[in-house]
């Protein structure tokens, strides 16, 4: 589903190279974890996947279902089913969460050439998805993320994700200091999304999240490259021994 080949990317503003020859393959049906020390380029990779203009790809390729996405803008990527959830959710004052969701879903349908959802259809879907995530209807009437607790922000994020029915989900949870409740919300949401035709990339600093979301593959990112890949046991190894051994082995 996703094939990243020898990717090099730099910060557009000052030309600093952050991603330095990164290779990564994620198959449909897979949950892949990306781990790595702070400053390795994990968040940068997720921004590049989303198509943010602050970064320039200078070399290499990102193929999604065999097609390059490098020339697509963020909306076009979203329309193709790529969903990015970020560490710092944006607050949208003045727009009820419900309204935001409706606009987001219809924007995506429009980009896919599908008809707008009718209000009853939309209401039914939101009701089902929010019940599953234990989201109170009252929360949906409040402006998105404004004054939401950490757990509510996570729920809102997972709700957006499940309503948009993405094919490739990227969740950047690094350094966000999720408490145990928020961690479980994310894990339940991701686990509910597991399906043979969907891939999930979970970026995390902490092995703890991977106790709840058991990944199929684990990749260690360091200085803009994947320096080691393995199965879920790699995450346990990292928790026990830290990154030093792997970094040392990769440098040798």
- Binding-site ranges for ligand ADP (CB under 6 A): 11, 18, 36, 38-44, 54, 174
Binding-site partner at residue 36 among Mg ion, ligand ADP, none, CB < 5 to 8 Å by type = ligand ADP
Please give the size of the binding site for Mg ion, defined by CB under 5 A. 4
For residue 43, state whether it binds Mg ion (rule: CB under 5 A): yes
Shortest Cβ 17–ligand ADP spacing (Å): 9
Shortest Cβ 189–ligand ADP spacing (Å): 21
Q: Whole-angstrom Cα distance, residue 65 to residue 152?
A: 33
Piece in contact with Mg ion (CB under 5 A), picked from 35-43, 110-118, 184-192, 222-230: 35-43
Piece in contact with Mg ion (CB under 5 A), picked from 23-31, 72-80, 145-153, 170-178: 170-178
Nearer to ligand ADP, 43 or 225 (CB): 43
Nearer to ligand ADP, 26 or 163 (CB): 26
Nearer to Mg ion, 18 or 199 (CB): 18
């Amino acid at each position: 589903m996703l094939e990243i080949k020898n990717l090099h990317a730099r910060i557009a503003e000052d030309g600093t190279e952050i991603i330095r020859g990164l290779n990564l393959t994620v198959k449909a049906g897979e949950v892949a974890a990306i781990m790595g020390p702070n400053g390795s380029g994990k968040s940068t990779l997720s921004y590049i996947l989303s198509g943010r203009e602050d970064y320039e790809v200078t070399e290499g390729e990102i193929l999604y279902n065999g097609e390059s996405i490098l020339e697509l803008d963020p909306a076009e990527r979203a329309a193709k089913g790529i969903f990015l959830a970020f560490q710092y959710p944006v607050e949208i004052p003045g727009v009820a969460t419900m309204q935001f969701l409706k606009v987001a879903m219809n924007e995506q349908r429009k980009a896919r050439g599908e008809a707008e959802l009718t209000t009853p259809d939309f209401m039914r879907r939101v009701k089902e998805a929010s019940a599953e995530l234990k989201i109170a209807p009252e929360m949906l009437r409040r402006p998105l993320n404004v004054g939401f607790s950490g757990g509510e922000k996570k729920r809102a994020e997972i709700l957006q994700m499940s309503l948009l029915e993405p094919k490739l989900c990227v969740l950047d949870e690094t350094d966000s200091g999720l408490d145990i409740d928020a961690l479980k919300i994310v894990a339940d949401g991701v686990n509910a999304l597991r399906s043979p035709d969907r891939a999930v990339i979970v970026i995390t600093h902490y092995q703890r999240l991977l106790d709840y979301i058991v990944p199929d593959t684990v990749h260690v990112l360091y200085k803009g490259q994947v320096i080691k890949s393995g199965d879920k046991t790699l995450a346990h190894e990292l928790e026990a021994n830290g990154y030093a051994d792997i970094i040392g082995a990769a440098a040798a």
